[in-house]
Amino acid sequence: MIAARILVSEVGPRDGLQSISSIMPTAAKLAWITAEAAAGVREIEVGSFVPATLLPQLADTDQVVRAARLIPGLTVAVLVPNLQGAQAAIAAGAHKITLPLSVSETHSLRNLRRTHAQVIAEARAIAQLIRSLPAGQRPHFEGSLSTVFGCTLEGPIAEDQIARLADALMAAGCDEVGLADTSGYADPAAVRRLIRLVRGVVGEGALTGIHLHNTRGLGLANALAAIEAGITTLDSSMGGLGGCPFAPGASGNLVTEDLCFMLAAMGVETGIDLPELLEVRKLIAAGLPGEALYGFTALAGLPLGFQSTGRADGAGRSGGNGQADGTKRADGTKRADSTGPSDGIGQLDGTGRADGPGKAA
Ligand code: ZN
């Protein structure tokens, strides 16, 4: 069963920007983050606390975190590779810290230069540091199981190894674990299988999020499989920036705009105003001259009469509790006219609602 409300967690300022050679100026990053938060995105991974020599694109993460945390209602997330990164993240005031653990040890050694045991030790040290903070100042701590759907160096990873590492991250003190399709190998059946596997180890409440790529065009299919399996947080990147775009023309990351379109079309509440979100692309394009932005929704535009589920505080929406089951939404009180959903909150009538997603294809 799909949750009535899904949290779309934007990772573009981290995953997107780390994968391209252009360096976005700090002011442009903050303009992007501010505008996306204003469009209703409530969690944004704004950077990574890694040495600037490794990722000069993210050298200003400290500054970005400090500014972003002033945005009301926004959860400011960061990636950290180790305890030192976590210390910097906490000093800057990040609300959420994610430590990646590559379930492929070859990948872990190659990318982080650390064995599994060493990464688990870092997780334990970070959890201890967080526990030493006063209650109310403790960031949420997630251990992300990366390359979990397969590794470009090792291929498929044994499920008992994945289960053991998920358990080890929780035992080390993580608040939850996440699944990350680092290599873009996932398919909907594997998504369902691994969610079941890992939830069987850590419990339902300790696996709520998934990080999917669109490397082979299965990003949205995988996202649908994930939410049908009970996942409530989906990572994605504006313009599909980042990820592993091996194939020309393919975005690397799941495209935030397309994901939000799918969810809105299905009547799943995200709190995001889609027309306003699409406007944010202009800021990103301005901050990254020459970089390609992907995504079908931005190219095709919203369907005639499309109803964005919009923000939870929006007037005239579907009953206030975010449960948009189609019946409630089919009230047609604010149907868009022939000029299209210029006000961004136009609603579909019952007929259009029923086959909305199909028509968009
Ligand atoms: Zn990614």
Model pLDDT for residues 37-84, shown as the tens digit of each residue: 999 999 999 999 999 999 999 999 999 999 999 999 999 999 999 999
Q: What is the mean pLDDT of residues 95-99?
A: 98
Instruction: Give the pLDDT of residue 108.
Output: 94
Whether the predicted pLDDT of 330 surpasses 60 = no
The Cα-based distances of 291 to 254, 259, 288 in angstroms read 17, 21, 6
For residue 275 the two structure tokens come to: 């027309």
Instruction: Give the pLDDT of residue 327.
Output: 34
Q: What is the mean pLDDT of residues 247-273?
A: 89
Q: Ligand 1 centroid vs 112 CA: distance in angstroms? A: 15
Task: Please say if 244 is a catalytic residue.
Answer: yes
Q: Ligand 1 centroid vs 276 CA: distance in angstroms? A: 24
pTM for the full predicted model: 0.85
Model confidence at 270, pLDDT cuts 50, 70, 90, reads very high
Phi and psi angles of residue 221, each rounded to the nearest 5 degrees, phi first: -60, -40
Q: Out of 151, 174, 244, 260, pick the active-site residue.
A: 244
Nearby residues of 203 by Cβ (< 8 Å), 6 or more positions away: none
Q: Ligand 1 centroid vs 219 CA: distance in angstroms? A: 11
Ion ligand 1: residue ranges with CB closer than 5 A: 15, 243
Q: Please state, for a pLDDT cut of 90, what percent of the chain lies above it.
A: 76
- Ordered structural domains, the chain, with CATH: 7-300 (3.20.20.70), 309-361 (no CATH)
Query: Sign of the CA dihedral 82, 85, 87, 92?
Result: negative
Q: Ligand 1 centroid vs 261 CA: distance in angstroms? A: 20
The residue with greater pLDDT, 186 or 110, is 186
Spatial CA neighbour of 45 closest among 23, 87, 76: 76
Q: Ligand 1 centroid vs 93 CA: distance in angstroms? A: 23
> Coil, strand or helix: which one is 61?
helix
